[in-house]
Amino acid sequence: MENASKALIIAGAILLAILIISLGILIYNQASGVVNNNAMSEVEMQNFNQKFTQYDGTQRGTTVRALLQAVLSNNLSVDDDSRKVSVSGDVSMDASATSAPTDSVNTGGSYTVKCEYSESGANQGLIYNIKIERID
């Protein structure tokens, strides 16, 4: 009788250990899923970059104004500061700006637009800055 009760206690302890290990694995899998969801998928990254890469190259002033509005719209709509885009060069706009500096763009002028991509970190491959230079 004494051996049977010890066997039941040992069996219960083994079942409890298995339950605790399973619970730990479940929590780990859920936590790693949350971490992986913070990174953008390849398609999301292409869609994000497409909003700005269409303006790459030599552009007229009216197109540059449209680009500035697109950057402003993006920056106001995203919650994550690391996905905001800044503008530098002859026309500049901080990522936290609340209005686009369209007054500094001559609609009849020509500009070169170059997108700069993040090379490291969680946002690797995303555009983080757009350089706009006036062509005289």
Residue 34 pLDDT class (50, 70, 90 cuts): low
Nearest CA among 21, 120, 7 for reference residue 128: 120
39 pLDDT higher than 70: no
Helix (H) or strand (E) holding 37: helix 2-37
For residue 104, the model assigns a pLDDT of: 85
Q: What percent of the chain has pLDDT over 70?
A: 93
Instruction: Say how far apart CA 113 and CA 127 lie, in whole Å.
Output: 13
Angle at 61 between CA 48 and CA 73, to 5 degrees: 35
pLDDT digits (tens, 9 = 90+) for 44-86: 888 889 999 999 999 999 999 999 999 999 999 888 887 899 9
Return the SS3 of 19.
helix
Strand order in the sheet with 110-117: 57-60, 110-117, 127-135, 86-89
For residue 52, the model assigns a pLDDT of: 92
- DSSP label of 82: G
Instruction: Say how far apart CA 39 and CA 15 lie, in whole Å.
Output: 38
Other beta carbons within 10 angstroms of residue 100's beta carbon come to: 21
Across 99-122, average pLDDT: 87
Instruction: Say how far apart CA 52 and CA 39 lie, in whole Å.
Output: 20
100 pLDDT higher than 70: yes
For residue 25, the model assigns a pLDDT of: 92
Instruction: Say how far apart CA 59 and CA 55 lie, in whole Å.
Output: 7
